[in-house]
Structure 1
Amino acid sequence: MRLPRPAALGAALLALALTASGVSTAAPAKPGASRAVDGWPVRTPSSLGLRGSVLEAGAKEAKRLDSTCFAVLRNGKLAYEKNWRLERDVPREVFSITKSITSTLVGIAIRDGDLRLDDRVSTYVPQWRGTPSETVTVRNLLSNDSGRFWSMKSDYADLLAAKSRTMYAIGLTQQYAPGSAWAYNNAAIQVLEPVLEKATGMRVAKFARTRLFKPLGMTHSELITDRSDNAAMVFYGLRTTCLDLARFGTLYLDRGKVDGTRLLDTSYVKRAVGRSSTVHNAAYGYLFWLNRPGRIRGATDAVDAQGQPLKPVTGQLAPYAPKNVFAALGFGGQVLLVDPSTRTMVIRLGLPAQAGEEAYGFGTAATVLTRALK
């Protein structure tokens, strides 16, 4: 996944705003408490304090960018939903949205007492003992400041081609001191797979199914596994739907609880989505993207020999949106955007590598959110 720069975001947002201004109000959801879609009560946008014209415009833009689904929910109600090419209950790849699922699995393991943020990864990965990677912590992997080796070739070609992606990731070297540099490091995140398995005593795909998907009612979701060793792909392997992702977002809106049962400590929720996890990137929590102001980094920004950005940028991903908005993002413009202040979620999934794929990510979803609220 590559985040667009703020200037590119602005162009995409302006295009959507111009589109939205000329669309009449549409209310695809008929009023009435008895109607539900995939378990979600349906209400009209207006009854939820949302502008239907903006949601309709957002859907048109999503369709133009080869989306497969688009949904907006508020206060646990479905205000708007569109599906293209696939039925709503057909799982589809969502790429790096998986990382936010992985963060949540770590949080559940912490809640269960099986893991701690400041555990050394070498406790679970013996290959790192006695090496420069020995002091890398679970927190470093979640914050993407582990300092583990990263290059475009390694992370986007060699890792994907490896017979065992987990073993490839473990076998890379230490590039920078832990905590000293930030990188959007797929291989480093994949190392959370053996950490979770050894900490919980359970295969990660099964742990996700039993401890997260089942409690949340995410019945159309699964983590794919590596063919060589049945290891779950924790940096990109989630298959899911728009409305299952809404259930995932609700876990964070409810500060770690589902149906009165706590899955995540409130302190973990705050660390994951409520504040920056590293001084190197204000826009990053624990494998979630944030709208916090400060020094921000994109996924593939050029860096110097010390791993610091060649062209530092200060600002926000979406400066017109509330600073506590957060998102799970994936390649091809996959997005689950959550606004805890208004309990509103905007979700878009689509086909990868389409022209203009970056236009439907954090910024455009945030535009739909801010323009839709009355």
Structure 2
Amino acid sequence: MGFFNELDQYTNEIKNRIAASAAAICVMKDNKIVHEWYSGFHHFHNGARKVDELSQFNVYSTRVTYVGLAAAIAIHEGAIKSLDEPIRSYLMNYDSEVLGNTTIRHLVTRTTGLQFQGNGVLRKFEEGMSFEGKRPEILASIIKNATGKTVAEIINERVFKPLGMTQTEWRTAGKETLVCDINDPNSYPTLRLESNEGSDRNLYVSARELALWGNLHLNEGSFQGNQILPKELFECVTSVLTPSSLAPHLPRLGSFWWIQDKNVTNSEIGPELPEGTYQILGASGCSCTVIPKHKAVVVRMTNSLWTFGGKNGFDYISDIQRFGNLSEMALNQYSKLTY
């Protein structure tokens, strides 16, 4: 039965609306893939590769959850003292007085009140009082200073290798399975190739492996009966870490994951998704939504940068909320008719 037909159809409509050449959906429930859908090509020009299960999309801001987990590992193993350790202890090149009492917690919940500009930093707001953009490169620098390892080294060793993940890579060179970015429907497609250290916007992931990443969080570090990482790491990164000083209508985050809170009016998460849901969204339209109520993970992939941030009249918040609400509806139908 077509439990996920409406989800596929909506995603195909959005693919066309945002001038994406490629799209994919992967749904995992109870540790197995229950639905996959692939559409389009890696770019619009002749000879483009057809999208399939090996296609790797640039997930953009979705990558910050990988940085967040690396930080949690560093804290658990004592390289970073605690979530509430001042970041000035690890950032010697910045003015410690300006950094003040800003902590790792403020960094992963996007509430530092700081504006980083190259090697300088300015204070715009008191820490814990405003919601701001992500700065995963600052956290990655702290991790490297504290552990001597890059985010990529930590996550490759502790996650990718144990799970056998081979379609998740910080790419520095082109590859046949990489899906191009569409910056404009009339422009040439591009690939973002940067550092392999794990903080830049060059993390390419297949739909299946992004679902597997979400499922590792859902299972609190367990994979095929083995505890790959300590359970408490995942209890931490997917629970609300946002300081209580932040106004209640502003987003509540774990370690960069958006956490469903029905009291929050400024959220990317669809209002029909249940409490306990957590999600991350990237500029290209890629998202990973983890829904513990259903023991499910829903991944969406697209490859357009043409409409993100309100460009060309596209409301990306309404879009991802609609996708989440449709996911909840589909999973409810699936559960009722298959259990």
Q: TM-score, normalised by structure 2?
A: 0.75
- Where does structure 2 lack aligned partners over 5 or more consecutive residues? 16-21, 42-50, 173-191, 308-313
- Where does structure 1 lack aligned partners over 5 or more consecutive residues? 1-24, 27-51, 155-167, 299-315
Q: 2:122 aligns with which of 168, 173, 186?
A: 173
Aligned AA (2:141): P
Question: Which residue number corresponds to residue 351 of structure 1?
Answer: 303
1:284 equivalent to 2:248? Answer no
Q: 1:123 aligns with which of 89, 105, 126?
A: 89
Q: 1:192 aligns with which of 119, 139, 146?
A: 139
Cα pair distance change 1:367/1:230, threshold 3 Å: closer
1:80 equivalent to 2:46? Answer no
Cα contact 1:335–1:365 (8 A) shared by 2: no
Q: 1:61 aligns with which of 10, 15, 19?
A: 10
Cα contact 2:106–2:128 (8 A) shared by 1: yes
Matches within 5 A, 1:330-349: 330-349=282-301
Q: Distance in 1 between matches of 2:66 and 2:266?
A: 21
Question: Which residue number corresponds to residue 160 of structure 2?
Answer: 213
Q: Distance in 2 between matches of 1:119 and 1:69?
A: 40
Question: Which residue number corresponds to residue 366 of structure 1?
Answer: 325
Q: How many residues align?
A: 286
Cα contact 1:217–1:244 (8 A) shared by 2: no
Q: Distance in 2 between matches of 1:121 and 1:56?
A: 47
Q: Percent identity?
A: 19
Question: Which residue number corresponds to residue 100 of structure 1?
Answer: 65
Question: Which residue number corresponds to residue 211 of structure 2?
Answer: 246
1:133 equivalent to 2:99? Answer yes
Cα pair distance change 1:178/1:357, threshold 3 Å: closer
Question: Which residue number corresponds to residue 275 of structure 1?
Answer: 240
Aligned AA (1:97): T
Q: Distance in 1 between matches of 2:100 and 2:171?
A: 29
Q: How far is 1:318 from its partner?
A: 2.7
Aligned AA (2:272): Y
Q: Distance in 1 between matches of 2:291 and 2:242?
A: 19
Q: How far is 1:147 from its partner?
A: 0.8
Cα contact 2:194–2:200 (8 A) shared by 1: no
Give deviations 1:161-199, integer Å, cap 9, x for gaps.
Answer: xxxxxxx2x52322222222221x23x332011111122
**SS of corresponding position for 1:191:** helix
**SS of corresponding position for 1:72:** strand
Question: Which residue number corresponds to residue 328 of structure 1?
Answer: 280
Q: TM-score, normalised by structure 1?
A: 0.69
Cα pair distance change 1:61/1:102, threshold 3 Å: same
